[in-house]
Homo-oligomer: A and B are copies of this chain.
Amino acid sequence: MDPAVLDAIASPRRREILRLVWREEQTVGAIHQAMPDVTFGAVSLQLRLLAEAGLVEARGERRNRFYKARPEALGPVAEILERMWDDALWKLKLAAELEETRRGPKPRRRPGRKSKREV
């Protein structure tokens, strides 16, 4: 397992793309339609990152490129993701997470301060 894998799946956006191409290949356009809050170009760039990490593969047919996940490249992480996606609760969390991380890769850490040392 490449550490690039850990990097790749740390992004909610990339996890969502992975999910979309998990079972069956999808065109970039189809993926983009499922993520209307980002531009086509943004989807293409994330697909490039995923492809460079070996987590998706592409196939060209006619005018389209079809992308498909490579679960075998994810090793044990594949099961973790699948478990997350199967969990209905997770779907809600993902939605909130995607909305929150409209820009910026990572969830903000909570601002709640605690002045005294907490043991």
B119 touches A3 (CB 8 A): no
The answer to whether residues A10 and B12 also contact, given A1-B80, A119-B58 and a CB cut-off of 8 A, is no
Question: Which has the most chain B C-beta neighbours within 10 Å: A7, A75, A83, A109?
Answer: A7
Cα separation A79 to B52 with both chains bound (whole Å): 25
Cα separation A1 to B79 with both chains bound (whole Å): 12
Cα separation A49 to B109 with both chains bound (whole Å): 8
B1 touches A12 (CB 8 A): no
A6 touches B10 (CB 8 A): yes
Interface size class of A (residues with CB under 8 A): 20 to 34
Cα separation A107 to B52 with both chains bound (whole Å): 12
The answer to whether residues A107 and B7 also contact, given A1-B84, A60-B117, A76-B80 and a CB cut-off of 8 A, is yes
**A76-105 interface (Cβ within 8 A of B):** 76-77, 79-80, 83-84, 93-94, 97
5 residue pairs bridging A and B, Cβ less than 8 Å apart: A3-B84, A52-B109, A60-B117, A76-B76, A77-B80
